[in-house]
Structure 1
Amino acid sequence: MNATSSRVDLNLFRVFDAVYRAGSLTQAAAQLHLTQPAISNALARLRRQFGDPLFVRDGRRVAPTPRARAVAPDIAAALQALQRSLAVPQRFDAAASTRRFVLGMRDVLEFALMPTLTRQLLEQGPQLQLQSARIERRRLDRELVAGALDLAVDVPMTVGDELVREPLFREGLCVAMRPDHPLAGAPLRVESWLAARHITVSSRRTGPVLEDAVLQGEGLRRDVAVRCQHYYGACHLAASSDLLLVLPRYYGEWFKTQLPLRLAPPPVALPELEVMMYWPRNAEHDPAHGWLREQLRRAVRDGAPRPG
């Protein structure tokens, strides 16, 4: 085929297959409910694409050329594959599926969602595979549209029209400290909280985190002594020092069962952590994808974010 073959109309191959099987333009037209001139026009376009006559007159019938006989099995197989795809039932059978789902999320959300979600998925589909992958926000749109990620779970952000987003859950923040911290005996006050030293958690090397951005807006500032990449290490630091840590309450509640920590409400109004689910619009009507989205919603309804 020539350089323009990538733009060929797939309907032309239906005409080719019908003519090849019938050996007659008239019969092919009847089978496809087309006029004979329409069949002739389709064959003319195919001949230009292949650079070959494809069919030649043989009395009242037409006979395939060697080139037509060579490509006919591939065309027939491709048409059959398309037909099978269209015939697939519009439901997802998790119990029989070996599909691998890839979810984009950061570690704090992996901690919150994956235990419950994994348990649900493997109970219904014991052969399913689930992967949590770290996301780069600047590449989120293209990775979802390209299918590198099935879903993403992250904070609210602006995305293009090719993505769909849906609120998943909201969670409050708390302050963690060791039980015998000097500030542990009474409700936190703004002045004493700001006078203490703090731990902050961010995957970025520089720049304010949520609570610092809020404080800056109020004309306030706190003293950050340590900047960690993950809450795991930050919680251990808070449990073994006089440093204070602001973190999502679900994280604090779990670590409170593992480490000597006391949790307290922040002394300033901090916005809740809002989490969204993102998926590609081109997967909106895919049964397996719809099933996965519903499992994530169910995981939240059933208690996530509550690890374990």
Structure 2
Amino acid sequence: MHISRVDLNLFTVFEAIYTEGSVTRASQKLNLTQPAISHALGRLRQMFDDPLFVRQGHAMVSTPLARSIIDPIRNSLRNLEVTLNGVHAFDPATAEKRFNIAVRDVLEATILPPLMLQVRESAPLAEVAASHVERRELQGELANGTLDVAIDVLLPLSSDIMHTRIYQDSTVVVARQGHPAIDGAIDIGTYLNQDHILASSRRRGPGLQDFELSRFGMERRIRLRCQHYFAACRVVSQTDMILTMPGRYARIANEQFGNQVLPFPLEIPPFDVFLYWHSNVDNDPANRWFREKVIESLRAVD
């Protein structure tokens, strides 16, 4: 079928139904009536000779064919949007745009406060939506435009994903004030003799610090494994257990607990944090502006 015979608006409807999982929510997203969305879906079904979506309860579940074509359709819509945006200059002062950023919780508390100061000052109508995205899904979501940027450690992604280092962080040890074995400093022997907390989203497996310790033939004693550093910091404040974590977040999370934040007692390299975006938005004015704001905001972080 030649492209001249296809109504490109149908693909916008297809993407909205796929993303929202509902004709009603798709109509709200596109500001169209439900009959208009249903009519477009009927034309799509005829075009592809496939139901594309099957109702299960209140949800519209995609068929195998729909799942196989969603990525190329999203990429095409994204490229068209970038092309159209390139024609018109991006004006942050009047832009009513939502920027979607993937960031892990340990970085979220560090980055979002200064970023929102930057965004609110120059783009008062813009929105920022931060979410946790599984690393295996980052590349696809950056490609199809459901994510504008992502912030994470160095990841093995394809050459289509561009990146730049935005800051370095150190590893620190957190212990409560008045800890019987730790007062303003900690050596490796004292460190290894303590009971440790490991904060990780994974249910099992060692932390990064355990790999570093193993290089020196050392092993620490993990007594608690929890999901979030904030919870771990609170446990530290009420016990003699200690926690190893990134330095910038440690200073933020422990302000209310008054815990000691001490240098890690071994010489280990700092870890780098990167900003990621897809090559198809490298020259997009809005995306480029947002990337600049992310980088500028980190200059305000101690």
Fold equivalence (TM over 0.5): yes
Cα distance in 1, alignment partners of residues 225 and 100 from structure 2: 30
Cα distance, 1:280 vs. partner? 0.3
Cα distance, 1:97 vs. partner? 0.4
Distance 1:101 1:189, change over 3 A: same
Match of 1:163 among 156, 161, 169: 161
Report the counterpart of residue 136 of structure 1 in structure 2: 134
Cα distance, 1:246 vs. partner? 0.8
Report the counterpart of residue 76 of structure 2 in structure 1: none
C-alpha contact (below 8 Å) 1:211/1:270 kept by paired residues: no
Number of aligned residue pairs: 229
Match of 2:2 among 5, 25, 38: 5
Match of 1:205 among 203, 206, 219: 203
Cα distance in 2, alignment partners of residues 88 and 220 from structure 1: 58
Report the counterpart of residue 77 of structure 1 in structure 2: none
Cα distance in 2, alignment partners of residues 224 and 7 from structure 1: 64
Cα distance in 1, alignment partners of residues 210 and 4 from structure 2: 54
* Cα offsets for 1:97-133 (capped at 9, x unmatched): 0010000011111111001101110111111010001
Cα distance, 1:87 vs. partner? 8.1
Report the counterpart of residue 71 of structure 1 in structure 2: none
Report the counterpart of residue 188 of structure 1 in structure 2: 186
Match of 1:114 among 112, 115, 135: 112
Q: Percent identity?
A: 32
- Verify: 1:271 aligned to 2:274, yes or no: no
Report the counterpart of residue 75 of structure 2 in structure 1: none
Cα distance, 1:265 vs. partner? 1.1
C-alpha contact (below 8 Å) 2:86/2:284 kept by paired residues: no
Q: Give 5+ residue unaligned stretches, structure 1.
A: 9-80
Report the counterpart of residue 102 of structure 1 in structure 2: 100
Cα distance in 2, alignment partners of residues 235 and 274 from structure 1: 23
Question: How large is the Cα RMSD of the aligned pairs?
Answer: 2.3
Cα distance, 1:191 vs. partner? 1.4
Amino acid at match of 1:88: V
* Cα offsets for 1:122-166 (capped at 9, x unmatched): 111111010001111111111100101000000101110111011
Distance 1:240 1:282, change over 3 A: same
- Verify: 1:287 aligned to 2:289, yes or no: no
Cα distance, 1:7 vs. partner? 8.0
SS of the aligned residue for 1:96 comes to: coil
- Radius of gyration: which is bigger? 1
Cα distance in 1, alignment partners of residues 86 and 262 from structure 2: 57
C-alpha contact (below 8 Å) 2:185/2:262 kept by paired residues: yes
Cα distance, 1:6 vs. partner? 3.4
Report the counterpart of residue 175 of structure 1 in structure 2: 173
Cα distance, 1:86 vs. partner? 7.9
C-alpha contact (below 8 Å) 2:172/2:261 kept by paired residues: yes
Cα distance in 2, alignment partners of residues 5 and 221 from structure 1: 64
Amino acid at match of 2:206: P
Amino acid at match of 1:286: D
TM-score when normalising by structure 2? 0.71
Q: Give 5+ residue unaligned stretches, structure 2.
A: 6-79
